[in-house]
Amino acid sequence: MTNLKKLAVMALLTPLFVACSNAPSESTVEALIEAQYEQANSMMDDAMANAGNDEMAKAMSGMMEGMMPKLEKVENVSCDTTEGDNTYLCTADVTQTIGGKSRIDSGAFKVNDVNGKWVLTQ
């Protein structure tokens, strides 16, 4: 095969390979991380609601609420395929406030495509 033909074949096949490796978008990963924080906050709200009028339970719930991280932003999302076609290891810088102090933590998250829906699994 001539070099020109090889180049033409590579040019035609490259989009197919790229299409097969559709990592989750940055906004998708951000939304998955945000959903985890929302779930944790919802659980804390439920615990506080269940405390009722018990003063000790209210005090403990209030203390725990102050220790819960509040998500500020997610940046620098990058995903690479791992463990098969539908699993990606994503990294991100997560800015959160804990106890009134803001901090940035770099984290790794495993994201899976399950029946066409992205799921955060780690």
Q: Which domains, from first to last, does the chain contain?
A: 23-120 (3.10.450)
Instruction: Kindly indicate the confidence band of residue 4, based on its pLDDT and cuts at 50, 70 and 90.
Output: very low
Mean pLDDT, rounded, for 90-97 = 95
Asked whether 111 and 101 are in contact (CB, 8 A), the reply is no
Q: Inform me whether the pLDDT recorded for 57 exceeds 60.
A: yes
pLDDT at 112: 93
Between 120 and 51, the more confident residue is 120
Tell me the Ramachandran region of residue 19: left when phi exceeds 0, alpha when psi lies from -120 to 50, beta otherwise: alpha
Mean pLDDT, rounded, for 95-108 = 92
